Amino acid sequence: MAVATINSLRVEIPGGLDVVDGLSLEIGPGEVLALVGESGSGKTTIGTSMLAHARSGARITDGTITIGETEILELAAEPQRALRGKTIAYVPQEPAAALNPSIRIGRQLEEVIFDHERHVSRAQRRARVESALRDVGLPVTDEFISRYPHQLSGGQQQRVTIAMAIILAPRLLVMDEPTTGLDVTTQARILAIVRTLCRDHGIAVLYVTHDLAVVREIADRVIVLYAGRVAESGPVEDVFQQPGHPYTQALLGAVPDISERASLVQIPGRAARPGERPSGCFFHPRCPMRIERCESGEVPTIRLGTAHHACCHRAERVAQSEPRRPAPTRLPKGAEVLLAASRITASHGRTEVLHDVSLTVHERECVALVGESGSGKTTLSQCIIGLHERYTGTVVLRDRPLASSVRERPKDARRAIQYIFQSPYNSLNPRRTVGEIVALPLRVFFGSSHRELHAGVRDALERVGLSAALAAYYPDQLSGGERQRVSIARALVCRPEVLICDEVTSALDVSVQAAIVELLRGLQAENGLSLVFVTHNLALVRNIADEVVVLADGRLVERGDTASVLDAPRDPYTKQLIADTPSIKRVGDITPVS
């Protein structure tokens, strides 16, 4: 018997516009069902619907949601609340936002039990807290249990949220992008925890993600969503080996893989938003295989295997096709060293976090900085840009030593090195329009006239694949991918020689990530731009970097040509990073919980 069943779910926003329509699924005990698709496809809406909840302004207008034998949408508000945490549990994307910063983690875990089972004694609550922490591979010492959330790493915080979710032994676990932003080693531990919970406790899991490589590692079945409807569904191996929908095929082509260097597929256009859905197949305006009948009428559901279905007129032909991704052309790096950071030792307060690290960047070269969270990647990159002043050593740009503080550097040096931050949501001024944001560096560095500012903004936006009309928009009116492109445009108007990219794709859909990566490649080819690419995604490193610098605990443990490091790593730490990196082409044992 299925643990959870959804039939014909419809969720609307004001105006009767559907976010999700006609969605049906079921999840068995111990099964992991993955929901994948671009932002706006309805993944999180479906996940929260399973808790009988809709985000502000939205409402569930049709369909049934059954957990066991209970139809939860028919329950009153109080019985619905009683189910949350006890029968259905939710693991959010941002653990720091889910944990109360003023309460110790042990007490937060005990409160979950107390809210639902007030008869349980304090000693029993403590025993269950310790058991839940062991299940997720965390220490059960008094010192650890008495810590506050800010005293934990991001991976530890995520494991605490999972412990909170499983402490009452729910039947269903909804996990919303639980590994986004985590390094590959921590991600591997989280995936191992999920698998162990499913196997040992029979918990059913709905796993919401945009990372198809993670789906290959963790899920039994997958549903591909597009614009609130199912595009394809089936066992993971069937869908990945013979995708029957052009959208699924394009998503797989947009995923970088650690096993090969290949051009990434860019999906033209963007997903149709509520109120903008086309007639017929919603994907047809972006589909390279569309035919006339795709533009109107019902879309058939074609059976491709025992449990493998695709909603496409041409599903059988798509499944038989074998798209290829050619390897991108490698650009010859210049002979001259453009940027050199030598013997950098940096501190946060009294704690030394970087220990005698050096790197060089040639013209037209992309150097990747990789390592776990806390390895010193961002600290090193901020020393280079001049945002972290507490360091010793030297940063040299074209044989000219630079001051440690960006404020003390000459204007041409500030212009030559530009920085793109990780979060596209926090790096743009919300009170300025896109045009004002992009125009500011033109005014500061070049003293451009009003006419020159207008032309410069238009050209910069078009170079990163955005319409010039977006100059009048504010950041909150843009998607994450559009905001990140604005950040790149703002950097490019400075005419930089070095671009430092700090985890710039970690929060983006794979289709948007592919577009950003191909954009950066094009800029290297056209402008001779050099890149320092900070990331924990080794699959992306394979696709974009010429050289890799591996950091562990603030020390340089390995560096060299990308292919040499990834194909024949020498340091045990590098070997472990590569082993922990999920792949859509190879499936290995998930790292055991430790």
Look-up of token digits 């490589």 = 213
User: pLDDT band at residue 586, thresholds of 50, 70 and 90?
Assistant: low
User: pLDDT band at residue 32, thresholds of 50, 70 and 90?
Assistant: very high
Question: How many other CB atoms are there within 10 angstroms of residue 17's CB atom?
Answer: 15
Mean pLDDT value across the chain: 90
Per-residue pLDDT at 373: 81
Which tokens is 12 given?
């609307």
3-class state of residue 76 by DSSP: coil
Per-residue pLDDT at 503: 86
Domain 4-219 identical in fold to domain 364-389+406-580: yes
Residue 559 is inside which H or E element, if any? strand 555-561
Length reported for the chain: 594
Per-residue pLDDT at 394: 96
Which tokens is 225 given?
């969503």
Per-residue pLDDT at 312: 96
User: pLDDT band at residue 50, thresholds of 50, 70 and 90?
Assistant: very high
Q: ∠206-208-211 over CA atoms, to 5°?
A: 130
Question: How many other CB atoms are there within 10 angstroms of residue 301's CB atom?
Answer: 13
User: Considering the chain, what percentage of its residues have pLDDT values greater than 90?
Assistant: 63
Look up residue 248 and give its amino acid.
T
Q: What is the mean pLDDT of residues 549-564?
A: 95
pLDDT exceeds 60 at position 590: no
Q: Are strands 391-397 and 337-348 parallel, antiparallel or unpaired?
A: antiparallel
Q: Could you tell me where the beta strands, DSSP code E, fall in 102-253?
A: 172-176, 204-208, 221-226, 229-235
The span from the CA of 548 to the CA of 532, in Å, is 10
Q: What is the pTM assigned to this prediction?
A: 0.87
User: Considering the chain, what percentage of its residues have pLDDT values greater than 70?
Assistant: 98
pLDDT exceeds 60 at position 2: yes
Domains in the chain: boundaries? 4-219, 235-320, 364-389+406-580
Per-residue pLDDT at 88: 95
Q: What is the mean pLDDT of residues 371-397?
A: 92
pLDDT exceeds 60 at position 593: no
Per-residue pLDDT at 95: 81
pLDDT exceeds 70 at position 589: no
CATH number (3.40.50.300, 3.30.360.10, 3.30.540.10, 3.40.50.1000) of 364-389+406-580 reads 3.40.50.300
pLDDT exceeds 50 at position 533: yes
The span from the CA of 254 to the CA of 377, in Å, is 26
What letter does residue 498 receive in the DSSP assignment? E
CATH number (3.40.50.300, 3.40.50.720, 3.40.640.10, 3.90.79.10) of 4-219 reads 3.40.50.300
User: pLDDT band at residue 370, thresholds of 50, 70 and 90?
Assistant: very high
- When mean pLDDT is compared across 39-48, 322-331, 448-457, 584-593, the lowest value belongs to 584-593
Q: What is the mean pLDDT of residues 506-535?
A: 85
pLDDT digits (tens, 9 = 90+) for 51-71: 999 988 899 999 999 999 999
Higher model confidence: residue 370 or residue 508?
370
**Angle, helix 510-527 to helix 480-492, in steps of 10 degrees:** 10
The span from the CA of 255 to the CA of 213, in Å, is 8
- When mean pLDDT is compared across 124-128, 340-344, 412-416, 467-471, the lowest value belongs to 467-471
What 3 state SS string does 183-197 have? CHHHHHHHHHHHHHH
DSSP for 391-429 reads EEEEEEETTEE--SSGGGS-HHHHHHEEEE-S-TTTSS-
Burial letters 516-545, b for 16+ CB under 10 A, else e:
bbbbbbebbeeeebbbbbbbbbbbbbbbbb
